Amino acid sequence: MKVLVVGSGGREHAIAWKLAQSPKVEKVFCAPGNGGTAEVAQNVPIPADDFAALVQFVKEEGIDLTVVGPEAPLLDGIVDFFRQRGLAIFGPTAMAAKIEGSKSFAKCLMKRYGVPTANYESFIDYQSALAYVREQGAPIVIKADGLAAGKGVVVARTLQEAEQALFQIMQAGEFGLAGNRVVVEEYMEGEELTLLSFVDGETVKPMITVQDHKAVFDGDKGPNTGGMGTYAPVPHVSNELVNQIVETIVKPMAKGMKQEGIPFTGVLYTGLMLTASGPKVVEFNARFGDPEAQVVLPLLETDLVDVLLASVQGELAHVDVKWKRESAVCVVMASAGYPGHYEKGALISGLEHMPGKTVIFHAGTKRTDAGLVTNGGRVLGVTGLGEQLSEARETAYAAVRQICFEGAHYRTDIGEKALRRQR
């Protein structure tokens, strides 16, 4: 069969890479793709938001399944557009994707179906939000309601930080229309955890646990990014805790969305805080995480095509999703200045001879006559695999040290928290 992956980042490279390994897949296409997807798929110069051109390509090429990576086309209704034309596509409808596109919408659903999360209020008026923040005090969490590429959340430790965040989001328009409404949440104490799940209506198949590192600098310091690295599975999270999260959070949410008439089909990303009173939801996303996909997919033993097709056909319940008994660590190498302003076009070298169990996922790269160059804020996701977390981590960092481009920066503590716990 032929498969089309929509998107151009590290997550899409990971999806295309995994699909290309399936004996059932004859060819993978990626639209528009990047410098890395070109190694495992045929890049097609169609933007992810040009639905008509994508449909035309799918029909002309005889594509059997389309897989959508990024959130923006999902919210803009790419799944609805394809389904109306009788084309197989993996991902949630625009209304179901709103669970990511509007934090206040997600919060209302959680409240209605008893899904544990932080107390909150949402505001469209700046002065009202400011008064509420001053009344609540710090620490407090300020979130732009809409899509902000993973950067629209500020954990304010002081009242001054909270006020500044509100001003930047609602008055200065740092995140555009995404900041027309804000959600102000109570600060939750605990450890963060991500659980991705394949979902098909009410059927939930959880993946292995992941821990992301959002802040740009070591020790979780500095502004939030789209993600500076991740590892899986999380060794100190028990199967019992995963079952608890599935039964009290993921399944009730999936069931609730079906009752609302917006059944979710796709990957449901559940961002969690493990608090003293149990796991609570930080956020839901409507697709594979990035860079979570870069550690989860290398550890998936079941053919990804089987899982995606079953989901699309409403038969996910009949698929046994299995995982390798290994660990994976992904370290993101970013451009100088990221998550703020950064330059593009720096030449990348050192990718030729990688250590044994290493996979390099390209996020922001482009192939030119001069060679491979940077073309984004997050440039590469360097994934190391190993029987133990420590081994996977050593492999990833050994590879990172071999790769060079001007201004490259990365965190040196991905997975360190888990290893400290083990020690």
Q: What is the 3-state secondary structure (H, E, C) of the chain?
A: CEEEEEECCHHHHHHHHHHHCCCCCCEEEEEECCCCHHHCCEECCCCCCCHHHHHHHHHHHCCCEEEECCHHHHHCCHHHHHHCCCCCEECCCHHHHHHHHCHHHHHHHHHHCCCCECCEEEECCHHHHHHHHHHHCCCEEEEECCCCCCCCEEEECCHHHHHHHHHHHHHCCCCHHHHCCEEEEECCCCEEEEEEEEEECCEEEEEEEEEECCEEEHHHEEEECCCCEEEECCCCCCHHHHHHHHHHHHHHHHHHHHHCCCCCEEEEEEEEEEECCEEEEEEEECCCCCCCHHHHHHHECCCHHHHHHHHHCCCHHHCCCCECCCEEEEEEEECCCCCCCCCCCCECECCCCCCCCEEEEECCEEEECCEEEECCCEEEEEEEEECCHHHHHHHHHHHHCCCECCCCECCCCCCHHHHHHHC
Contact between residue 79 and residue 87 where contact means Cβ atoms under 8 Å apart: no
Q: pLDDT for 320-362, tens place per residue?
A: 999 999 999 999 999 999 999 999 999 999 998 887 899 999 9
Tell me the pairing of strands 327-334 and 229-232: antiparallel
Distance of alpha carbon 200 from alpha carbon 182, whole angstroms: 30
Residue 80 has pLDDT above 70, yes or no: yes
Same domain, 84 and 132: no
* Axis-axis angle for helices 251-259, 94-101 (nearest 10): 130
Residue 186 lies in a domain: no
Residue 115 in any domain: the answer is no
CB 321 within 8 A of CB 307: yes
Torsions phi, psi for 402 (to 5 deg): -85, -20
Average the pLDDT over 190-194 and give the result: 94
Same domain, 245 and 356: no
Phi, psi of 217 (to 5 degrees): -115, 160
Looking at the structure, do residues 402 and 349 belong to the same domain, yes or no?
A: yes
- Assess whether 139 and 175 both reside in one domain: yes
Are residues 172 and 195 both part of a single domain?
Answer: no
Same-domain status, 169 and 203: no
Q: Which of 54, 79, 94 is the last residue of a domain?
A: 94
Instruction: Please state the length of the chain.
Output: 423
pLDDT confidence bin for 75, thresholds 50/70/90:
very high
- Residue 150, pLDDT score: 65
Amino acid at 153: V
Query: Per-residue pLDDT for 222 more than 70?
Result: yes
Q: What is the mean pLDDT of residues 99-127?
A: 93
Q: Grade residue 268 by pLDDT with cuts at 50, 70 and 90.
A: very high
Do 226 and 293 belong to one domain?
Answer: yes
- Give residue 52's pLDDT: 98
Could you give phi then psi for residue 309, rounded to 5 degrees?
Answer: -65, -45
- Note the pTM of the prediction, 2 decimals: 0.93
The answer to whether residues 152 and 243 belong to one domain is no
Q: Are residues 239 and 208 in the same domain?
A: yes
Tally of structural domains, the chain: 4
Q: What is the CATH number of the domain that holds 143?
A: 3.30.1490.20
Q: Answer whether the bond into residue 233 is a cis peptide, omega within 30°.
A: yes
How far CA 357 is from CA of 85, 382, 423, in Å, comes to 42, 11, 24
| 224 confidence band (pLDDT: 50, 70, 90) | confident
Report pLDDT digits (tens) over 8-45.
999 999 999 999 999 999 999 999 999 999 999 999 99
Instruction: Specify whether 281 is located in the same domain as 388.
Output: no
CATH number at residue 308: 3.30.470.20
88 part of a folded domain: yes
Return the closest-CA partner of residue 285 out of 36, 3, 11: 11
346: amino acid identity, one letter = A
Decide if 220 contacts 213 (C-beta within 8 A).
yes
Statement to judge: residues 342 and 228 lie in one domain: no
Q: Verify that 176 and 212 share a domain, yes or no.
A: no
In angstroms, how far is CA 35 from the centroid of its own chain? 20
pLDDT digits 0-9 by tens, 96-111: 999 999 998 999 999 9
C-alpha dihedral sign at 157, 158, 161, 167: positive
Domain end point (choices 273, 292, 318): 318
Answer yes or no: is 221 within a domain.
Answer: yes
Is 273 a member of any domain?
A: yes
Identify the CATH number of the domain in which residue 396 sits.
Answer: 3.90.600.10
- The boundaries of the domain holding residue 135 are 125-180
What region, left, alpha or beta, does residue 118 occupy, with left being phi > 0 and alpha being psi -120 to 50 degrees? beta
Q: End of a domain among 289, 318, 347? A: 318
